[in-house]
A = this chain, B = another copy of it.
Amino acid sequence: MTELERQGAQAKAAARVLAVTGTEQKNRALEAIASILEERAEEWLAANREDTDAAKAAGISPALLDRLTLTPARIAGIAAAVREAAVLPDPVGQVTKETVRPNGLSIRQVRVPMGVIAIIFEARPNVTVDAAVLCLKAGSACILRGGKEAIRSNRKAVELMREAVASAGLPEDCVSLVQSTDRETARELMHLEKYVDVLIPRGGPGLIRSVARESSVPVIRTGEGVCHVYVDKAADLAMAAKILFNAKCSRPSVCNAAECVLVHRAVAKAFWEQALPLLDEKNVALRADEEALAVLGERASAAEEADWDTEYGDYVLAVKTVSGVEEALDFIALHGTGHSECIVTEDPAAAQTFLNGVDAAAVYWNASTRFTDGGEFGLGAEIGISTQKLHARGPMGLEEITSWKYVVRGSGQVR
């Protein structure tokens, strides 16, 4: 047995206990986690300083350094988020369907925990706690595998969480960290189907694609977002400009930000008159097709083929001219990642065609793609945005990280 197999077996055993643990005890464990993170924040900060010192020495970018850094205020925020998870309704045990068959069998479909959830993620140490806490509340054990930049912070966070979980009378193996950050161990985790029920990668598109390709453990793909805003010929152009500006600029690094605007040729000139002043505020770079270049002139540069499939995560926007809803749908079918897509129009028929025809987790009529988020959808905390069609699609809250089983009660029925 390898070290990771041992860890998997321990997580599986812990998951069996956690699966039949009541809501109150799980909430006590969450409260214990929030408390220990606050009370022993100094230890966590010290571990984090070692990570940030090493990262600085290695010449990490300021943006990444910022994401890696913990502060007392950030720890307070993390602890508050843990307490918020405690008050969310427990999905486990919810009856999702119920029927009594003519032969008297009572059949209930009941939500049950997933079992063991593995999460492979990149540098932010808050993800370590978020992910563990959501899994715990949903009745599943988790195996966390973070990036090497945050390894000291993650070790300390997991050490503290295990202590807290044990203090609430639950097996400490409900939460564990993969100790090695090398690729080989990550790959081994992707083939640990004997113990791991689902694997959720959180990070850049490269990470997610390679995990989806390699893993024999079932994967939920999250957060690949090449999102489009389509400005229809019947759009309220002021609204369209405002929505595009928000979708592109309110937080360009996140997956629900827009990367490409599709503009109906009949309104292109009038639209850009409204949109450019807004985009100029953030110096958004425009990568335009030939027809749009003719309108935008020197304000834009020529798009290359690769632009249509790029998640910039920055103040850069691809611009494509289209002849109507159908061409927009074709373009999105070819280049979208199934995350969030938007039409701006006052024409209900065009809107309906778009809403029906787009194959994505979320499709918007006259609203920003930035709303694709667990909190904005009213699900509470989320563990990611699923961009696949199996099991969960869109923001994944507690329900989305559970499974179901059928519980059948009889009185001796045979078939």
Q: A413 on the interface (CB 8 Å rule)?
A: yes
Q: A360 on the interface (CB 8 Å rule)?
A: yes
Quick one: which of B245, B365, B372, B405 contacts A359, CB cutoff 8 A?
B405
Do A414 and B368 touch across chains, with their CB atoms under 8 A apart?
yes
Do B403 and A393 touch across chains, with their CB atoms under 8 A apart?
yes
Do B409 and A367 touch across chains, with their CB atoms under 8 A apart?
yes
Quick one: which of B109, B394, B415 contacts A405, CB cutoff 8 A?
B394
Do B239 and A198 touch across chains, with their CB atoms under 8 A apart?
no
Quick one: which of B16, B101, B359, B361 contacts A333, CB cutoff 8 A?
B16
Residues on B with C-beta less than 8 A from A412 are 236, 239, 242-243, 366-367
Do B409 and A404 touch across chains, with their CB atoms under 8 A apart?
no
Chain A residues packing against B (C-beta within 8 Å):
16, 19-20, 99, 101, 105, 107, 109, 112, 114-115, 193, 197-198, 212-213, 216, 218-220, 236, 239, 242-243, 245-247, 250, 333, 355-368, 370-372, 376-378, 388-391, 393-394, 403-415
Whole-angstrom distance between the Cβ of A236 and the nearest chain B Cβ? 7
Q: Is the interface of A mostly helix, strand, loop or mixed?
A: mixed
User: Considering the chains assembled together, what is the distance between the CA atoms of A198 and B405 in angstroms?
Assistant: 21
Do A406 and B390 touch across chains, with their CB atoms under 8 A apart?
no
User: Considering the chains assembled together, what is the distance between the CA atoms of A362 and B372 in angstroms?
Assistant: 34
Quick one: which of B246, B366, B388, B394 contacts A406, CB cutoff 8 A?
B394
Which residue in chain B gives the minimum CB-CB distance to A333?
Answer: B16
User: Considering the chains assembled together, what is the distance between the CA atoms of A114 and B390 in angstroms?
Assistant: 8
Do A362 and B405 touch across chains, with their CB atoms under 8 A apart?
yes
Q: Would you mind naming 15 contact pairs between A and B with Cβ atoms under 8 Å apart?
A: A16-B357, A115-B389, A198-B389, A198-B390, A212-B216, A218-B218, A218-B390, A220-B390, A243-B412, A246-B414, A360-B405, A364-B410, A368-B414, A372-B406, A394-B406
Do A389 and B333 touch across chains, with their CB atoms under 8 A apart?
no
Do B413 and A367 touch across chains, with their CB atoms under 8 A apart?
yes
User: Considering the chains assembled together, what is the distance between the CA atoms of A270 and B376 in angstroms?
Assistant: 61
Whole-angstrom distance between the Cβ of A383 and the nearest chain B Cβ? 14
User: Considering the chains assembled together, what is the distance between the CA atoms of A375 and B114 in angstroms?
Assistant: 26
Residues on B with C-beta less than 8 A from A413 are 366-368, 371
Whole-angstrom distance between the Cβ of A186 and the nearest chain B Cβ? 17
Which residue in chain B gives the minimum CB-CB distance to A112?
Answer: B359
Do A364 and B408 touch across chains, with their CB atoms under 8 A apart?
yes
Quick one: which of B239, B356, B405 contacts A393, CB cutoff 8 A?
B405
Do A370 and B415 touch across chains, with their CB atoms under 8 A apart?
yes
Q: Which of A357, A359, A363, A366 has the most CB of B within 10 A?
A: A359
Which residue in chain B gives the minimum CB-CB distance to A99?
Answer: B378
| Given A366-B410, A414-B370: A356 touches B250 (CB 8 Å cut-off) | no
Extra contacts, 8 of them, besides A220-B390, A368-B414 (Cβ < 8 A), are: A218-B390, A242-B412, A245-B414, A355-B407, A365-B409, A367-B412, A367-B413, A367-B414
